[in-house]
Amino acid sequence: MNHVNKNKGFTLIELLLAMTFISVLLLAIAMTILQISNIYNRGIIVKDVSQVGRSIVTELQTNVAASVPFSVSQTAGSHYFQQPLASPYGGRLCLGQYSYIWNYGSAIQVGSSSTRNLYTNEALLITATSSPIRLVKVYDTSAAYCTNLALKVDPTTATELLNVGDHSLAIQNFSISTTTSALDTLTGQQLYTITFDVGTNDQNALTNGRSTCKAPGTIGADLSYCVVQNFSIVARAGSVVQ
């Protein structure tokens, strides 16, 4: 009597094809998950940058409005300075009640102790602290921080305005300007145009002007993490009754 073996197995080719299909499927799933994760993380960063930008806008508009018209000439008596003027590492804006002091992202990474805005207890940059000044608000009714540009910031009286989320955010550019025609001679009010860029602080991922991220394919480009947003406002000084 002949017995027929009905327990047939898979051939080697069938196993290889099945393994290849499963591998491709798993790879596609992993790539999809990775892409979704990158999109989600970038969305969180964009939200954080937008949030901190709007917060800074509100801060500046409120305190410019509460101040009297001031000079932004960056000379003696001015309430606005870049440090140093030739190649700024940061700046100071004194509005009568509060002063704003910041280091640009490039200064946080590569600045020197002679030009950076420093805390009173901050070591030289070569032994940089883990919490350098990014953008702080200091109660300063005498505008001392603009009278003495070497004056260091007491960390116990400063409020850091860029501590948002888990991302390293920094001011990348900042400017404030006004013109004679922006002065209302009847009310004494003055208009100021304030423009600033805030974003993540990987300097290698930014263009030379630090106002945008590098394009895809450019050396150093990081589309998953790099985010920079520009904010521009017009604020009126002297519009609040003292």
Lowest mean pLDDT among 32-36, 44-48, 76-80, 220-224: 32-36
Query: How many CA atoms are closer than 13 Å to the CA of 139, on its beta-carbon side?
Result: 2
pLDDT, residue 164, reads 60
What pLDDT shows up at residue 124?
Answer: 46
Residue 43 counted as domain residue? yes
Nearest alpha carbon to residue 46 among 233, 231, 225: 225
Is 2 domain-assigned? no
Res. 5: pLDDT tops 70: no
CA distance 199 to 206: 10
232 within a domain of the structure (yes/no): yes
Residue 53 lies in a domain: yes
pLDDT band at 168 (very low <50, low <70, confident <90, very high): confident
Task: Name, in order, each residue with C-beta under 8 angstroms of 77's C-beta and a sequence gap of 6 or more.
Answer: 71
Q: Which of 28-32, 147-151, 232-236 has the lowest mean pLDDT?
A: 28-32
**Is pLDDT of 242 > 50?**
no
Task: Indicate whether 12 belongs to any domain.
Answer: no
Residue 39 sits in which domain range? 21-237
For residues 152 and 8, which has the higher predicted lDDT (pLDDT)?
A: 152
Query: What mean pLDDT do residues 39-51 have?
Result: 88
Is residue 92 within 8 Å of 143, Cβ to Cβ?
no
Whether 8 maps to a domain, the answer reads no
What the block records as the tokens of 169 is 């955010």
Say what the pLDDT of residue 2 is. 56
- Whether 160 shows a pLDDT value over 80: the answer reads yes
Q: Residue 4: inside a domain, yes or no?
A: no
CA 139 to each of CA 63, 70, 93, 154: distance values in angstroms, whole numbers, following the listed order: 11, 17, 12, 11
Checking if the pLDDT of 113 tops 80, the result is no
Q: Is the dihedral of CA 51, 68, 73, 79 positive or negative?
A: negative
- 169 bridge partner residues: 200
Q: How many domains does the chain have?
A: 1
Judge whether 83 lies within some domain.
yes
